[in-house]
Each structure stands twice: as C-alpha cells, then as structure tokens.
Amino acid sequence: MRNNQLKILVTFVSFFVVFSAFAQKKTDFAVIAFYTGKNDQAHISFVHEANHWFSEMGKRHHFLYESTDDWTKMTDDFLVNYDVVIFLDSRPDSLSQRIAFQKYMERGGAWMGFHFCAFALSPSSFPQNWDWYHDMFLGSGQYKSNTWRPTTAILEVENKQHPAMKALPGKFSASPNEWYCWEHDLSENPDIEILASIDPESFPLGTGPKQHEIWHEGYYPVVWTNSKFRMIYLNMGHNDIDYENGTNRELSHSFKNRFQNKMILNALLWLGKN
C-alpha cells in the first residue's frame, strides 16, 4: 500500500514538473493580433496566412498567439493581458479603441503592424483622422502612392545591428507586395529609425498597366521603428491575387520567404522579450 502511494506521489510530482516547465516555455510572452479581413482579397489572403504562420511560430518559440476580428475588445482591461499587439490589416476606428491603444503603447506596450494598417487618405473610406497614430506614432502621415502589380523587391538592410535584422544579409528579395509611398519623409524624422528600404536594384518596380504605379527611382522605407515606442511597422501584407480572371486565386504568399520570415520573427521576439 505504501509503495503504491509512493509511486502515485512520484508520478504526480513528475507530471507537475513537466507540466510547469511546458507551461512556462509556452507562455514566454503573449501576442494578440487584430484584423478585419473584409476589404480586399489580397489582405484577407495575407491575414489567413499570417494567423497560421504566427500560430506555428508560437509553438516553436514559446509564445502565445491569439487573433480576433472583434475590435471592440480593444480596451484597457483586455490589452493588459498581452505583451504585443499586432495589426494585420487595419486600424481601430472608434475613439474609445484608439484611446485604449494609445494608452497601451504609452505605458510600455509593444506593437507590430503590417501594410494596410498604416493606410490613410482623405477623402476616402479610411481618412487621416487620427493624428497621433499616423503623424506621431508611425511618422508616415497619409498614404501617397503605391506600385502595381504586386511584385518582389530587393530590400536593403539599413541597420544590421538592430535585433530585427539579426542574421540577415545586407540585401534580400522580399515576397511580392504592393509597396507604399508616404506623405512624410521618414528620413527627416529624428524619432524614426529606418531598418529596411527598397534597394535601387529593384527599379523599375511594378508592372502597371498605369505608368504612375511603376516606380523608376526614389527612396522608399518599408520597415521602421519609432524610438519613443516599442514598435515596428512592415509594409508587407498584400498577396498577389488573380483579380483579372475573376478567380481570386492566390498568386503569391508572404510567408514563403526565408529571409523575410526571419526578419518578422526576429522583430516579434525582440518586441516580446524586451
């Protein structure tokens, strides 16, 4: 009887130790990703791909990844449970959500944003009506123009010492994307640190058919941080879609690129562990 009790006790203790170690590794930090997933098939495709990829990375690198399309959850009480917030394809629109996000960041929260979450154009369905976010936090101001069709670009790493750029080559090819140009010159903002930009080898960038959607020259930052906050913005987030033939078939994928994936994972681990 005593031996059986001892075996049960040893088994229970062993299970508790293993479970505790597993739980500790699994929850090094917690990530919540917000998305809308309604406005553009290219963005919807990216959101689905991102949710799958981040979930897999969470299992491998011991962080909790959750996602939601319910922006009403963006409250003080909800955000306090997470170490990193991700905007996959859009931004909060209600005043209360925006206030909660700003407070979260000003209190030391961390953020990663992709592609369309920085879009703002007045007048449009997504006007520039949030000065703190677009002018101070992102520093980019309004959207100015974009390339078309989605194509790959050669990116130049501008700060090899930054944790997000760890173990990356000086230049690498990004996944096909619709690349954005901005109202403000980010290189003139002392708070903005540009981590990657489009290398001139990429020009001409875009295929048209509209000529203004093909870039032949210029300086275009695509990944940057703001020294006043724990944040990183990445312009990636628009897969190539077969719109012309009406199939909406995915013609490219954002997370099938070794170096780009490395950069995104580096950035998330930097945000989550610091």
Domains in the chain: ranges and CATH = 27-273 (3.40.50.880)
Please tell me whether the peptide bond between 204 and the residue prior to it is cis, using omega within 30 degrees of 0: yes
Taking 90 as the threshold, does the pLDDT of residue 95 lie above it?
yes
SS3 9: helix
Mean pLDDT computed over 86-99: 98
Cβ-proximal residues to 53 (8 Å cutoff; 6+ apart), any chain:
255, 261
pTM to 2 decimals?
0.90
Please write the tens of the pLDDT for every residue from 133-143.
999 999 999 99
What's the number of CA atoms in the CB half-sphere (13 Å) around residue 229?
27
Please write the tens of the pLDDT for every residue from 167-189.
999 999 999 999 999 999 999 99
pLDDT score recorded for residue 87:
99
Taking 70 as the threshold, does the pLDDT of residue 56 lie above it?
yes
What pairing do the DSSP bridges indicate for beta strands 143-146 and 110-114?
unpaired
Q: Which of 25-34, 44-53, 138-147 has the lowest mean pLDDT?
A: 25-34
